[in-house]
Amino acid sequence: MPTDQSPEDRYHYAVIARALKAIDDAGGAPLALDDLAERLSMSPAHFQRVFTRWVGVSPKRYQQYLTLDHAKRLLTERRTLLDAADEAGLSGTGRLHDLFIRWEAMSPGEFAKGAEGLTIRWGWFESPFGPALVMGTDRGISGLAFAGETGTEAAMADLRGRWPKARFVEDPMALRPWVLAAFGSANAPAPVFAIGAPFQIKVWEALIAIPPGHVATYTDIARRAGYPQAVRAVGTAIGRNPVSWLIPCHRAIRKTGGLGGYHWGLPVKRAMLAWESARVEAG
């Protein structure tokens, strides 16, 4: 997997990605610290330090966030009131990526042209949620896909197919500062330049209003976006979000507390919700 990140960044991201996958694969069965460390060829003490530094809590505590009823508890205890989002803002902990988003959307005219004449740079990076394909223009990150469940070829085809007339250039160096900020490794802005239809943009704006560590139902998001009768269409727009994680479609769940679907795979969504809950608690 090509990446321009430093050896330390790659090491830490790879450790965390493998640890999260091992925990998720256990299906809710608790994994002892010694067993996890052995799988990662690390001493228990070293693994605990690395994991806690990046996730914010111990491996044992993190596993509690991956239980099947975690989303239901979030819905009950920390369901965001989107009408109050302006007051809540995107505050929370300074270590969360949300504080570093600078949001900008493509105009309807630009979108209608299929991004014709637009240069989109791309690169592969390691992330806490597995291999990440990042795409961006001079104005910010325009695409963020996770290939752990779908595979790299499918992720690439998916993002490129959204902007058929754009010019794509492999250039991870240009994207690296934004990627580090996106995953909390740099105290710098991670600008988002969303490319979508006007209806989609309104839905994505509602997603950004959900504070980290919180969730909202599809109905709540539809109401906030101004389309209370179009919950199904809003759900489709959520699924078509091209900038996963930064535009947090993983925070949308069913009114029953069920996770619903996720474009890049439910294991990724579960890991994101657990990761955020852990860091909010630690922050």
Residue-wise over 214-248: b if at least 16 C-beta within 10 A, else e?
bbbbbebbbbbbebeeebeebbebbeebbbbbbbb
Catalytic residue among 192, 209, 249, 272: 249
The H-or-E segment that residue 121 falls in is strand 119-127
End-to-end CA distance of the chain: 32
| 251 flagged as catalytic | no
Rounding to the nearest 10 degrees, give the CA dihedral for residues 253, 256, 261, 265.
80
What is d(CA 42, CA 161) in angstroms, rounded to the nearest whole number? Answer: 41
Length of the chain counted residue by residue: 283
Q: Which residue has the tokens 């980290």?
A: 212
Q: What positions carry a catalytic annotation?
A: 249
